[in-house]
C-alpha cells in the first residue's frame, strides 16, 4: 500500500523542483516588476518614483520571507512533535507487549485448557459471541483456525492436544478400533492404560510434583504413571452434568489456598459437536448451541474476575475438529463394488468419514486396493470418484497415519460431505460429520489464548494442535515429554518471561 501511495505522488519535473514555493514566488514577482519598471520609458522622466517602488518591493519581500519562515518553523514543530509522540506511543506499546505481564494474585502460573468440541472455525461469527470475542480481542487467535490431526475425530484429536503426539504415536487412532493382536476392541469407554500411549499433560504435571485437575477430557480418567485421577480433581465423563456446574467446579479450585490451586486444568463441553451431528453446521439449533457456549464462558470469566484472577490465568480455548453437512445424495455403497470385489462388513472397522478395512489373512491388502480402485474409477459406482483408497503406507506423509499396527492396512479418504455405507437402505437423513482429511478447511476449529503470556489482539498463522503440549509446558515452566510438536514453537506465540 505504501509504495502505491508513493507512486501516485510523483515529484515535479518542472523548474521549481527542490525550491521553497514561497521564496520562488517572491523572486518571480520581484523579477517581473523590476524588469517592467526598468523597461518602461515613463520612468526615465520621473526618477523620484523608483526609490518608492524599490522600498515597496523590499517590504513585500521581507513580509513574504517572514511568512514562509514562520510556516516552515510551524511545520517543523508539528512534524517533530508528532514524531516524538508516535515514538513514545510505539515505545509504550512495545513495553506493554514485549514481555509477559506479571501475576497479580496467583502464586504460580495456571493454565485452563477448554474444549468446545466440534466448534468449527467461523462459528464465532454465526451469532453474537461477546465473551469469545473478548478473549480474542485481548488475547491471541489462530487467524484462520486450529488444524486438527488426521483423522479429524474427537478422541484422536483431544489426546493429541494433551500429548503433542500424532495418533499413530499416542495409540488412539480412532474413536473405535480393534487391536490386531489381541482382537480386543477400543471404545470411548476404555480406560485401561494399555490403550493410551504417550504422556498427557496431567501426567507431566504430576511427574513434577504439581497438581492438575480434569473436568472431562478423553484419557483423563486413565490412571497412568504419576497420575492417579485424584478424587474431586478428576471427573469421570457424564454428559448429563450441566455446563454451569462444570464451570462452577473449576471456579471453586481458585478458592483453595494459593499453593493448592492446580497449575493445569481441563474443561470440556460436548457442544456444538452434539448438535452438529444431528442437524449439520447451518441449522438454528447449532447457532443456539454456539450462543450457549458463549454464555458459559461469560459465567467463567465473571467468576474469575470476582476472584481477581482473570488476568492471571492462561486460558487456552480450542475445539477437537470442525464439522460439515452430509446428506443421503452423497452416499457411496461398498456393495456397489461387488462386480470387482466383495467387501464383507466384518472387514470394515470404520466406514465414514474415514474408511478403514482390515482383510483377513489370505487376502493381500494390495490386491484388495487394486480391485477397489478399478471399480471406483470405472464410472459405474455411484459417487465412486469421491472415495480414494490407499495402502496406509501410501497415504500422504502429511497425515502421519501409518506408523502403528493399530491402523488397518487399507484406508479410504472420502471427499468432503460424502459418506460410505455398506449397502443401500430406505433411511433418509441429513446431518453433519467430521473425520475427513485435515487439509479440508471445514475440519478446522478454533484456537484462542488469553493470559499473561499472550499478546493482546495478536493474530498468528494456523498450526496443528500437536503444538499445544509444548505451549502449556512452556507457560508452566516445566520439562515436557518427547512429542511431535516443535520445541521452538512456543516462542512464536508467547511473550517472553521477564
Residue pair 115/319 in contact by the 8 Å Cβ criterion? yes
Contact status, residue 328 vs residue 389, Cβ threshold 8 Å: no
Cα separation of 355 and 151, whole Å? 10
7: left (phi over 0), alpha (psi -120 to 50) or beta: alpha
Q: Which residues pair with 214 in a beta bridge?
A: 234, 266
C-alpha cell at 273: 459437536
Residue 497, phi then psi, degrees to nearest 5: -75, 150
Exposure string over 368-406, b if 16+ CB within 10 A, otherwise e = bbebbbebbeeeebebbebbbbbebeebeeebbbbebeb
Strands 447-450 and 313-318: antiparallel
d(CA 438, CA 229) in angstroms, rounded, equals: 32
Give me 194's grid cell: 494399555
Contacts (Cβ under 8 Å, ≥6 apart) of 430: 280, 325, 326, 327, 328
Residues with a catalytic annotation lie at 154
CA dihedral 278, 433, 274, 169 (to 10 degrees): 160
- Cα–Cα distance measured from residue 313 to residue 449, given in angstroms and rounded to the nearest whole number: 10
| Nearest alpha-carbon partner for 265 in 298, 300, 295 | 300
- CA–CA distance, 250 with 242 (Å, rounded to integer): 13
Amino acid at each position: 500500500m505504501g509504495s502505491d501511495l508513493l507512486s501516485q505522488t510523483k515529484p515535479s519535473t518542472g523548474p521549481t523542483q527542490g525550491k521553497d514555493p514561497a521564496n520562488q514566488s517572491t523572486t518571480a514577482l520581484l523579477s517581473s516588476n523590476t524588469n517592467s519598471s526598468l523597461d518602461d520609458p515613463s520612468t526615465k522622466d520621473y526618477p523620484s518614483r523608483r526609490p518608492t517602488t524599490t522600498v515597496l518591493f523590499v517590504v513585500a519581500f521581507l513580509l513574504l520571507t517572514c511568512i514562509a519562515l514562520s510556516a516552515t518553523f510551524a511545520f517543523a514543530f508539528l512534524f517533530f512533535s508528532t514524531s516524538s509522540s508516535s515514538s513514545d506511543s510505539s515505545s509504550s506499546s512495545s513495553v506493554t507487549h514485549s514481555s509477559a505481564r506479571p501475576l497479580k494474585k496467583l502464586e504460580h502460573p495456571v493454565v485452563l485448557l477448554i474444549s468446545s468440541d466440534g466448534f468449527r472455525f467461523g462459528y464465532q461469527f454465526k451469532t453474537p459471541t461477546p465473551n469469545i470475542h473478548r478473549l480474542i480481542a485481548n488475547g491471541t487467535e489462530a487467524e484462520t483456525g486450529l488444524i486438527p490431526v488426521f483423522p479429524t475425530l474427537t478422541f484422536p484429536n483431544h489426546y493429541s492436544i494433551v500429548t503433542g503426539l500424532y495418533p499413530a504415536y499416542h495409540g488412539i487412532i480412532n474413536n473405535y478400533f480393534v487391536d490386531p493382536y489381541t482382537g480386543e476392541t477400543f471404545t470411548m469407554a476404555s480406560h485401561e492404560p494399555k490403550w493410551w500411549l504417550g504422556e498427557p499433560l496431567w501426567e507431566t504435571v504430576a511427574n513434577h510434583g504439581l497438581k492438575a485437575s480434569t473436568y472431562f477430557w478423553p484419557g483423563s480418567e486413565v490412571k497412568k504413571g504419576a497420575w492417579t485421577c485424584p478424587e474431586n480433581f478428576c471427573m469421570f465423563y457424564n454428559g448429563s452434568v450441566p455446563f454451569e456446574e462444570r464451570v462452577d467446579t473449576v471456579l471453586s479450585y481458585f478458592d483453595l489456598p494459593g499453593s493448592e490451586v492446580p497449575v493445569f486444568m481441563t474443561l470440556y463441553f460436548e457442544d456444538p459437536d452434539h448438535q452438529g451431528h444431528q442437524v449439520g453446521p447451518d441449522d438454528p439449533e447449532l447457532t443456539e448451541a454456539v450462543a450457549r457456549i458463549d454464555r458459559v464462558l461469560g459465567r467463567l470469566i465473571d467468576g474469575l474476575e470476582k476472584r481477581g484472577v482473570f488476568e492471571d490465568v492462561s486460558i487456552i480455548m480450542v475445539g477437537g475438529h470442525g464439522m460439515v453437512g452430509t446428506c443421503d445424495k452423497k452416499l457411496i455403497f461398498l456393495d456397489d463394488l461387488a462386480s470387482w470385489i466383495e467387501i464383507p462388513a466384518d472387514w470394515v472397522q470404520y466406514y465414514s468419514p474415514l474408511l478403514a478395512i482390515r482383510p483377513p489373512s489370505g487376502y493381500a491388502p494390495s490386491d484388495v486396493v487394486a480391485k477397489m480402485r478399478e471399480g471406483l474409477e470405472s464410472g459405474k459406482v455411484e459417487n465412486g470418484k469421491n472415495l480414494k483408497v490407499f495402502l496406509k503406507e501410501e497415504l500422504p506423509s502429511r497425515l502421519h497415519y501409518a506408523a502403528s499396527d493399530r491402523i488397518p492396512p487399507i484406508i479410504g479418504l472420502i471427499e468432503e460431505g460424502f459418506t460410505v455405507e455398506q449397502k443401500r437402505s430406505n433411511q433418509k437423513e441429513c446431518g453433519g460429520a467430521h473425520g475427513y482429511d485435515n487439509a479440508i478447511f471445514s475440519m478446522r476449529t478454533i484456537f484462542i489464548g488469553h493470559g499473561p503470556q499472550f499478546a493482546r489482539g495478536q493474530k498468528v498463522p494456523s498450526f496443528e494442535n500437536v503444538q499445544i503440549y509444548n505451549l502449556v509446558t512452556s507457560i508452566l515452566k516445566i520439562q515436557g515429554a518427547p512429542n511431535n510438536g516443535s520445541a521452538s514453537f512456543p516462542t512464536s506465540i508467547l511473550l517472553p518471561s521477564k
